[in-house]
Chain A
Amino acid sequence: MCTYQTERLDVSGSGKGSEGWFSLSCATFYFDHPTHYPAEHSLNIDFLNLDGGARARVAVELDPASARELARAILATLQTAPQP
């Protein structure tokens, strides 16, 4: 399937892409065909700066179990971090 199911978030932060560090403006999440990971589908995340051109991108393609673990680990880490 090609789900088109895409979530888009505005994000603040920085990412390191093929041309070095850049400021992030958004992230997209979609469950679709990966470009590189050898599976029919993966959970794909692109961290982007839409004003920085197409190369301003950090991409990951994760198997669904890894993506769930990542989400759990992020929340767990944030829970123990000092609150601003």
Chain B
Amino acid sequence: MSDSLQAETVRFTGHGGDEIEGYLAQPLDEGSFGGVVVIHHLPGYDEGMKEITRKFAAHGYLAVCPNLYSREAPGASPDDAAAAARALGGVPDERLVGDVQAASGLLKSLGSSNGRVATIGYCSGGRQSFLSACSLPLDAAVDCYGAFVVGTPPESSPLRVSPIVQMTPDLSCPLLGLFGADDQYPSPQHVAELEEALKLADKVYEFHSYEGAGHAFFSTDRPSYRPDAAKDGWQRIWEFFGRYLAS
């Protein structure tokens, strides 16, 4: 396989018939490829998320990162968009699922799709990846340090986020969880509680927690970046997707 890829901004129809923006990256080699919906972190649809989306294409996956703040802040810079979305209460769960479903459909409609699609999400996107996998038929899902799958945000928070661990029996696919042992949201206790729910529901899952890493250890442009954890995490992702997204 060569490393040729094409990456571009696209527009497609999301939840409720709304047109939303996304960043689509695809390998240019001949063949059929699995798809990955990249769910961005709370700070938004930024350069780091686009870099991650391109990385999937470079490794032989069709990937799209929908801009979940398209409606609140069309055309705004990622940090302004994230601030507006936060002030307005964040992304409603139902809308998120609709947008991920649309993104999955976009990937499957590509001529080079092998018909398999996974989600991966970071930070708030980790919770949303789990939510998507409990709401939609997917082939695999990755939760990177998603807070509030277990546990509840403070009452004062205007963000509309509630725990979703009770949805575990509906999980439609294998789950890979990558966490920082020093993180507080999700804490090791939150991760253990989710693992217990997965065991009880007899689901296929694989969890890795990294010592010396906290939240956002994959973010290369932030002080939270932990190269050792990120390197091992990426290896786990390639193995996991190799297993569940292959033709």
The residues of A with any CB-CB pair to B shorter than 8 Å are: 1-8, 26, 28, 30, 32-33, 35, 38-40, 46, 48, 50, 53-55, 57, 59
The residues of B with any CB-CB pair to A shorter than 8 Å are: 41-43, 72-73, 76-77, 79-81, 83-84, 86-88, 123-124, 145, 147-148, 153-154, 156-159, 161, 183-185, 214-216, 222-224
Task: Name A33's contact: one of B86, B153, B161, B222 (CB within 8 Å).
Answer: B222
The answer to whether B161 touches A4, judged by C-beta atoms less than 8 angstroms apart, is yes
The answer to whether B185 touches A2, judged by C-beta atoms less than 8 angstroms apart, is yes
Known: A1-B147, A5-B154, A53-B76. A33 touches B87 (CB 8 A): no
The answer to whether B216 touches A35, judged by C-beta atoms less than 8 angstroms apart, is no
The answer to whether A2 touches B158, judged by C-beta atoms less than 8 angstroms apart, is no
Q: How far is the CA of A30 from the CA of B157 in the complex (A)?
A: 9
| Minimum distance in angstroms from B188 CB to a CB of chain A | 12
| Minimum distance in angstroms from B90 CB to a CB of chain A | 8
Q: How far is the CA of A33 from the CA of B157 in the complex (A)?
A: 16
The answer to whether A5 touches B156, judged by C-beta atoms less than 8 angstroms apart, is yes
B216 and chain A: residue at smallest CB distance? A33
Q: Give every chain B residue within 8 A of A57 (Cβ-Cβ).
A: 80, 83-84
19 A–B contacts, CB within 8 A, in A order? A1-B147, A3-B147, A4-B147, A4-B148, A4-B153, A4-B157, A5-B157, A33-B216, A39-B223, A46-B87, A48-B83, A50-B87, A50-B88, A54-B77, A54-B83, A54-B84, A55-B76, A57-B80, A57-B83
The answer to whether A54 touches B72, judged by C-beta atoms less than 8 angstroms apart, is yes
The answer to whether A6 touches B157, judged by C-beta atoms less than 8 angstroms apart, is yes
The answer to whether B86 touches A30, judged by C-beta atoms less than 8 angstroms apart, is yes
Q: Give every chain B residue within 8 A of A26 (Cβ-Cβ).
A: 87
B83 and chain A: residue at smallest CB distance? A46
Q: Give every chain A residue within 8 A of B159 (Cβ-Cβ).
A: 4, 6
